Structure 1
Amino acid sequence: MLRWYQARLAARPLLTQAVTTSVLFGVGDVVAQQLVEKKGLEKHELARTGRMALYGGTIFGPAAATWFRFLQRNVNFKSANATILARVACDQGLFAPTFIGVFLSSMAVLEGVSPKEKLEKYYANALKTNYMVWPFVQLVNFKLVPLDHRLLFVNVISIAWNSYLSYLNSS
């Protein structure tokens, strides 16, 4: 399976990362609905899963893939550890706050509700929770994971994170 993924990644990197992100964002929503909320299959909201998958594949996947390449090219110091810490700081200081807002706003638009209200209600809590999880994940990511697999690593961890975001967004 990894060999197949590697071949797809080599041939069409952005498309492969976008599709992978879409699928795993959808999986995160299914986990939220079935394991966290315990809705059961008859009450599963397919439109909600579709919104998560759409956001993951069209917005987050391409943006995160581009972001990781940007950090790799532009955030470099003589010390490897300083480079890693600087990349985590950039990721958590710039990307995370921006994309939590983009996520909540996108979901609001797709749901036909007010982005302003959704941001006021959920943004601070989501960002605070982000800071309890993602700095540590990104330290491992930037230290141990090759560039081409960083988004996949984030996407696998994001199954749980997206379950949280989906639950938060729909509560």
Structure 2
Amino acid sequence: MQTAAASFFRTEVIRRCRQFGKVAFRKYLLVTNATISLGLSGVGDILQQNYEVLQKKQEKWDPERTKNMALTGLPVGVICHLWYNFLDHRMPGRTVKRVIQKVVVDQILFSPICISVFFITLGFLEHSKPAKVKKEIVQKGWMLYAAEWMIWPPAQVINFYWLPTRYRVLYDNTISLGYDVYTSYIKHEVPLEDDDEEEDS
């Protein structure tokens, strides 16, 4: 009796998970991708802040900072969703040559856009002056871009070769959790050079 009940429970859980997956990753894919990006961007900042607290670089967790970092995930999640759909439509196929082409295009064209959107969104949320946002993109953006070249080409080979389009943003965000920690560090711990004029009013 107990075995039958346990088997029924497992079957029901699996059925509901599959049903949820179909809804989340098909019918409401854009919402799912934006939500995943928002959530994991926030988690990355929480991890970085906890490290900073342990290192005595700050006294306690700053929820406002985590909120802003999480909110950057919304536009990034949306543009990643649109980008992958566009890329797979314009460059269909899973041959080795096609996958390499996608990786190169993704790194050269899309990565700088994604990094810029991150800084622009944070600048808006923090009420920063446009000059400061521009300076952050120039001075800090290259650090993030250099790190991306170490992480994303091999990761994107897997993404473009094996995964369906609907799972690309989920995969991206799972892989990028460690990168999100680094992003938070670059944004909040690396000072701008000659930043006195660009301080927020």
Q: Same fold (TM over 0.5)?
A: yes
Q: Which of the numbers 67, 78, 91 marks the counterpart of 1:50?
A: 67
Superposed displacement of residue 97, structure 1: 1.2
The one-letter amino acid of 2:173's match is N
**Aligned match of 1:26:** 42
Q: Are 2:160 and 1:136 aligned?
A: no
Q: Distance in 1 between matches of 2:110 and 2:53?
A: 29
Deviations 1:78-101 (A, max 9, x none): x71111011111100100011112
The one-letter amino acid of 2:119's match is L
Bigger Rg, which one: 2
Superposed displacement of residue 8, structure 1: 1.9
1:120-135 correspondence runs (5 A): 120-135=138-153
Q: Distance in 1 between matches of 2:122 and 2:55?
A: 20
Cα distance change of structure 1 residues 146 and 38 upon mapping to structure 2, 3 Å threshold: farther
SS at match of 2:54: coil
Q: Distance in 2 between matches of 1:104 and 1:19?
A: 19
Cα distance change of structure 1 residues 31 and 5 upon mapping to structure 2, 3 Å threshold: farther
The one-letter amino acid of 2:143's match is N
The 4+ residue runs of structure 1 with deviation greater than 4 A are 39-42
The one-letter amino acid of 1:63's match is I
Which shifted more, 143-152 or 41-50? Answer: 41-50
TM-score (normalised: structure 1): 0.89
Superposed displacement of residue 123, structure 1: 1.5
**Aligned match of 2:115:** 100
User: Normalized per residue, which structure has more helix?
Assistant: 1
Which shifted more, 103-112 or 154-163? Answer: 103-112
Which shifted more, 30-39 or 138-147? Answer: 30-39
Structure 1 unaligned spans of 5+: none
Cα distance change of structure 1 residues 37 and 117 upon mapping to structure 2, 3 Å threshold: farther
CA RMSD of aligned residues (A): 2.2
Deviations 1:103-154 (A, max 9, x none): 1232223223320221232112111111111111111111122211111000
SS at match of 1:43: coil
SS at match of 2:134: helix
Equivalent pairs, count: 169
SS at match of 2:92: coil
Q: Distance in 2 between matches of 1:148 and 1:94?
A: 21
Q: Are 2:139 and 1:151 aligned?
A: no
Which shifted more, 7-16 or 35-44? Answer: 35-44
Cα distance change of structure 1 residues 63 and 56 upon mapping to structure 2, 3 Å threshold: same
Q: Distance in 1 between matches of 2:53 and 2:159?
A: 30
Structure 2 unaligned spans of 5+: 1-13, 190-201
Q: Distance in 1 between matches of 2:165 and 2:105?
A: 16
